[in-house]
Amino acid sequence: MAIERLHSNKRLSNIVIHNGIVHLAGQLANNHDGDIRTQTRETLANIDALLAQAGSDKSQILSVTIYLKDIQNDFAAMNEIWESWVAEGHSPARACVEAAMFKSTLLVEMAVVAVQS
């Protein structure tokens, strides 16, 4: 089966689809100056948009890896936004880890694997 790559450059593809499985590259907020709640909302909005382009949606997410700059201080606030966004009854497998970010104002990044609808 063919591999479909969308929004690609030499470094990465934002969407890769193979055998009905959608892989999203790590997604970020567009505005890195917002607090954790703002960055989480923007990141999730970007995920919604990319999943729609790939023929999927948040109810089809299999797994998510969440990277937080400061897990001790931002975990609860990020989860508050996450829990209001996740489709009821469709909680994916999830890992959440603390990670150094490429920009000091970046607080959250999420990588997603989903099934096409």
Per-residue pLDDT averaged across 39-50, rounded? 98
Per-residue pLDDT tens over the stretch 3-38: 999 999 999 999 999 999 999 999 999 999 999 999
- Cβ atoms within 10 Å, residue 107: 26
Number of domains composing the chain: 1
Predicted TM-score (pTM) of this structure: 0.96
Q: Do 66 and 78 form a contact (C-beta atoms < 8 A)?
A: yes
Q: Which domain holds residue 35?
A: 4-115
**For tokens 């591999």, what's the residue?**
3
Give pLDDT, residue 1: 75
CATH number at residue 84: 3.30.1330.40
